[in-house]
């Protein structure tokens, strides 16, 4: 075969292989980097895998037990995280500047008289739907574990600590992108905060709101009406009494979901690259005394600055 055709032939063979035998990976490749053809995306991924030793997404089958998924996202299991990325309690550090989570706390109020008389559970989802004031108005109350309902203060603790790490992790992502010379989204922190607060938590982005009023309109509520992202957030984080251990993991999941969905050109090329980069950078940066978690190397804005004398 003439040398000048070897690259084109390799791309054709690779494209055919993934289309025929790995269709899920091919769908992932097609959704990467808006404006580029899937063939070009595949070429970039394979090139980066060759020069950096990186695993092509979906091909590390031998470690499949350590990975989860959310739609097309490939998420490492929490077991892959070092101890420094697993906080041991609901201790928040109130960072200054932009806020990631802004909600009206009145939306967390329930009518006590109606809480048990006019409420029901949703099959497959750890929540209680409780009637609130108006005839067809109901509110979501999240379980705290298997049986107990999460008091307002518990939910706020989970949201407060999540806000801290959304900002810290997001600033780290931006720093990584700048260091590589990659495109950085202007005002990214505020844009993400608006989407998460007004769209995911209290809005109808991708499904019913997690916090606030739901118009039942006389129909039986099904878990899938909340959408895959909100179901994941409720089950994996908001329902967990020890959610603090997962908070960095969940923050990184939410940030990848947002970037992949709305700004893929400002993000890492693959999930594998993203998670390897963040674990390898945040792990040492968040290491405190004895290898435990600490934010002592971060400033009041959530930027990594190292130990200060």
Least confident among 19-23, 113-117, 283-287: 113-117
For range 124-149, the mean pLDDT: 76
197 secondary structure, DSSP code = I
Q: Give 282: exposed, middle or buried? Use CB within 10 Å, 0-12, 13-18, 19+.
A: buried
% of residues, the chain, pLDDT over 90: 39
Res. 214 pLDDT band, cuts 50 70 90 = confident
Question: What tens digit of pLDDT does each residue of 85-101 get?
Answer: 999 988 766 676 556 67
Question: Which three-class secondary structure state does DSSP give residue 137?
Answer: strand
Q: What is the pLDDT of residue 289?
A: 81
- pLDDT-based confidence at 251, cuts 50/70/90? very high
Region 228-253: what's the mean pLDDT? 94
pTM reported for the whole predicted model: 0.76
pLDDT at residue 256, as a whole number: 96
Q: At what angle do helices 247-262 and 152-180 cross, to 10 degrees?
A: 60
- Over residues 265-290, mean pLDDT: 93
User: Residue 22: exposed, middle, or buried by beta-carbon count in 10 A (0-12, 13-18, 19+)?
Assistant: middle
pLDDT for the residue numbered 104: 78
DSSP 238: I
Q: What are residue 139's DSSP bridge partners?
A: 130, 213
Residue with tokens 């959704």: 31
- At 111 the pLDDT is 61
How buried is 16 (Cβ within 10 angstroms: 0-12 exposed, 13-18 middle, 19+ buried)?
exposed
Residue 75 pairs with which residues in a beta bridge?
68
E strand or H helix at 156:
helix 152-180
Distance between CA atoms of residues 77 and 280, nearest Å: 15
């Amino acid at each position: 075969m003439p040398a000048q055709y070897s690259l084109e032939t390799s791309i054709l063979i690779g494209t055919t292989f993934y289309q025929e035998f790995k269709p899920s990976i091919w769908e992932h490749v097609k959704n990467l980097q808006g404006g580029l053809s899937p063939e070009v995306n595949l070429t970039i991924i394979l090139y980066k895998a060759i020069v950096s030793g990186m695993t092509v997404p979906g091909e590390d089958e031998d470690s499949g037990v350590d990975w989860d998924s959310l739609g097309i996202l490939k998420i490492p299991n929490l077991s892959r995280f070092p101890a420094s990325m697993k906080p041991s309690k609901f201790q928040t550090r109130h960072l200054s500047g932009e806020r990631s989570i802004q909600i009206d706390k009145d939306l967390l109020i329930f009518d006590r008289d109606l809480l048990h008389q006019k409420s029901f559970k949703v099959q497959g989802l750890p929540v209680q739907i409780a009637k609130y004031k108006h005839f067809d108005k109901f509110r979501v109350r999240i379980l705290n574990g298997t049986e107990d309902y999460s008091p307002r203060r518990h939910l706020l603790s989970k949201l407060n600590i999540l806000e801290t790490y959304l900002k810290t992790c997001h600033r780290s992502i931006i720093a990584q992108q700048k260091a590589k010379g990659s495109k950085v989204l202007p005002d990214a922190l505020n844009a993400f905060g608006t989407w998460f607060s007004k769209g995911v938590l209290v809005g109808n982005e991708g499904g019913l709101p997690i916090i606030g009023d739901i118009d039942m309109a006389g129909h039986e509520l099904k878990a899938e009406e909340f959408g895959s992202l909100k179901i994941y957030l409720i089950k994996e984080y908001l329902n967990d009494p020890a959610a603090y251990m997962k908070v960095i993991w969940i923050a990184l999941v939410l940030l990848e979901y947002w970037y992949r969905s709305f700004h893929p050109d400002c993000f890492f090329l693959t999930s594998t690259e993203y998670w390897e980069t963040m674990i390898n950078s945040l792990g040492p940066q968040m290491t405190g005394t004895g290898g435990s978690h600490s934010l002592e190397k971060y400033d009041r804005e959530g930027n990594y600055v190292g130990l200060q004398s």
